[in-house]
Structure 1
Amino acid sequence: MRSFDSPFLSQGERCAGTLMLPDTGDTSPVIVMAHGFGAIRAAGLPAFARRFVAEGYAVFLFDYRNFGDSEGMPRHWVSPRRHLSDWAAAVRHVRRLSCIDTTRVVLWGTSFSGGHVLETAANDHGIHAVIAQVPHVSGVASLRQVPARVTLRLAIAALLDQGGRLFDRPHYSPIVGRPGDAAALTSVECLEGYARLLPDGAHWENKVLSRIFLEVPLYSPARSACRIKAPTLIVAGRRDTVTPAVAAWRAATCIPDCEFHLIDGNHFELHLEDEGVCLQNIAIQIAFLNKHLGVDQCATQDTAAGHGSGKAIHEHE
């Protein structure tokens, strides 16, 4: 495997990117990947990327503006509008690279970015395939997972942040906390699960600009799902208390060519390489890639049996 720094500009600011190439020497399809709510590309994504590269795919990982190794002030700014602009810039960037097959671009997103890839594919019909893992598809569905008293405290924090913008005094809230905390992610699986994603020595802070809490309820990529032309894989967790599986399933039924898998895991178990459900999740994703991109034709013939175009619903114990 070969790895290179490959930064790009989004709205005039430098975004950090890493291009990973297989050792085959061929021009490979490329999978563009970025993380979910408040995370950096070093948090769990390389484990998925290495698996994809081992299968013969190129991978491009990037950090959003204001996060990780990317530029942008103030830091820790989660915003669907800004993130979607970064996704569009990342796709433009990889389409200009000479060492990959730029006609076969795959979008890969998880949690919050699972929604971003659906929205991006709905607006860019040149995308070859989409993988959305435990995706955020409905602001209302996600809001229903949060206790009313926590929602009120987050709304107050958001208003404080909006007011602070006038005086260059941003107001931050925790990204992850314990149940009942005024944080973005507080269900029982979140605190330990998020911590396990972070590699030792990761430069990451548990905070986000509170203004995001006014945007999340209005951000529902499922509304755009019917406009997606690319073959799409959605993988949901049966015990997910962050992005409910039923909302992901409803979005899948709106996508013309979509394969939906329900795995018996929670939101973070599907991310963690040392969990059995994560290995099952990766195998499903590789089978989908081989089916639609044909890097491994033998694997395609073995794994594509029973998977036609249109809707495919699979449950895994």
Structure 2
Amino acid sequence: MTSHDSSFISQGTRCAGTLMLPETGTKPPVIVMAHGFGAIRAAGLMSFADRFVAAGYAVFTFDYRSFGDSAGEPRQWVSPRRHLQDWRAAVRHVRALPEVDVARLVLWGTSLSGGHVIQAAAGDAGIAAIIAQVPHVSAPASLRRVPLGNILRLGAAGLADLVGGWWGRPVYRPIVGRPGEVAAITTPEAWDGYLGLVPEGAPWENKTRARAFLAFPFYSPIRHAHRVFAPALVIAGRRDAVTPAGAARKAADRLPRGRFEALDCHHFAPYVGETFERNVRLQLDFLREVVPTTPGAERSGP
């Protein structure tokens, strides 16, 4: 495998990207990957990327603006609108890379970005496939799991951030907390599950601009699922209390070429251990079927 930095510009700001290439003599299909709510690409994506590259796929990973290795101020700003701008800029960038076969371009997202790939692929006939892992697809479905007191406190902090932003004083709140704390994600497994993915010394902080909590209730990518032309694999966790499996199944049903798989796990388990192994096997089987490394080798069938 070879890899090199391949940054791109989104809305005038540099986004850090890395292109990983398998040891092949031909242009491989390429998988574009980014993380979920407040996470960076160094937090759990490399284990998937390594397996994809070993199977003959190129992988392009990137950090959103104001996260990880990317530029952008103020830092740690979770925003579906901004993230989608970055996704579209990343896809434009990858489509200009000479090392890969852009006719076989796959979007891969997890958690919040699992919804992003659905919305980014909607209406784009040039996307070969998407993989949405434990995806956020419905704000109402996710918010039903959040204590009302948290919703009210986070909403008030969001309003304070809107006001503070005018004076260059952004207001932040935690991304992940323990049950009973005021944070974006406080399910019982969240603290260890989320922080366990972040490497020691990584450029990440447990905070997001609080205005994220004003945008999130209106973000439901399931509304765009019917406009995704590409084959789509949706993988959910049956015990997921962050992005419920029922909503993911509904999204898969609305995707014209969607298929659904459920793992017996919570939201953070698909990145590690035996659950990761089963998960990545499902994804590789799907990729080999719908976007094989040899052009024209797609298998027939549903």
State the TM bucket, normalised to the shorter chain: over 0.9
Paired position in structure 2 for 1:277: 275
Paired position in structure 2 for 1:156: 156
Q: CA deviation at 1:296?
A: 6.7
Paired position in structure 2 for 1:315: none
Cα distance in 1 between the residues matched to 2:141 and 2:122: 20
Q: CA deviation at 1:149?
A: 1.0
Paired position in structure 1 for 2:107: 107
Question: Secondary structure of 2:26's match?
Answer: coil
Question: Secondary structure of 2:109's match?
Answer: strand
Task: Kindly report which structure 2 residues correspond to 1:232-251, keeping only aligned pairs within 5 A, or say none.
Answer: 232-251=232-251
**Aligned partners of 1:290 and 1:296 also within 8 Å:** no
Q: CA deviation at 1:25?
A: 2.5
Cα distance in 2 between the residues matched to 1:25 and 1:195: 39
Cα distance in 2 between the residues matched to 1:126 and 1:16: 23
Q: CA deviation at 1:165?
A: 1.2
Paired position in structure 2 for 1:141: 141
Q: CA deviation at 1:198?
A: 1.0
CA displacement, residues 196-241 of structure 1 (integer Å, 9 cap, x when unaligned):
1112221210000000101111000000000110000000000111
Counterpart code for 2:134: V
Paired position in structure 1 for 2:195: 195
Which residues of structure 2 form unaligned runs of 5+? none
**Aligned partners of 1:30 and 1:106 also within 8 Å:** yes
Q: TM-score, normalised by structure 2?
A: 0.97
Cα distance in 2 between the residues matched to 1:30 and 1:131: 13
**Aligned partners of 2:238 and 2:263 also within 8 Å:** yes
Paired position in structure 1 for 2:228: 228
Question: Secondary structure of 1:270's match?
Answer: helix
Paired position in structure 2 for 1:294: 292
- Pair 1:268 & 2:289 matched: no
Question: Secondary structure of 2:287's match?
Answer: helix
Q: CA RMSD in A?
A: 1.4
Paired position in structure 1 for 2:125: 125
Cα distance in 1 between the residues matched to 2:237 and 2:132: 12
Q: TM-score, normalised by structure 1?
A: 0.93
Q: CA deviation at 1:125?
A: 2.0
CA displacement, residues 166-203 of structure 1 (integer Å, 9 cap, x when unaligned):
21110000000001211011001100001111122212
Q: CA deviation at 1:126?
A: 1.0
Q: CA deviation at 1:308?
A: 3.5
* Pick aligned residue for 2:301 from 283, 308, 312: 308
Question: Secondary structure of 1:28's match?
Answer: coil
Cα distance in 2 between the residues matched to 1:125 and 1:221: 18
Counterpart code for 2:293: V
**Aligned partners of 2:253 and 2:259 also within 8 Å:** no
Cα distance in 2 between the residues matched to 1:66 and 1:117: 20
Paired position in structure 1 for 2:78: 78
Q: CA deviation at 1:124?
A: 1.8
Cα distance in 2 between the residues matched to 1:262 and 1:282: 13
Q: CA deviation at 1:62?
A: 0.2
Paired position in structure 1 for 2:2: 2
Cα distance in 1 between the residues matched to 2:18 and 2:219: 28
Cα distance in 2 between the residues matched to 1:152 and 1:267: 24
Structure 1 residue ranges (4+ consecutive) displaced by more than 3 angstroms after TM superposition: none
- The number of residue pairs the alignment matches comes to 301
Which residues of structure 1 form unaligned runs of 5+? 310-317
CA displacement, residues 114-135 of structure 1 (integer Å, 9 cap, x when unaligned):
0000000113221000000000
Paired position in structure 2 for 1:54: 54
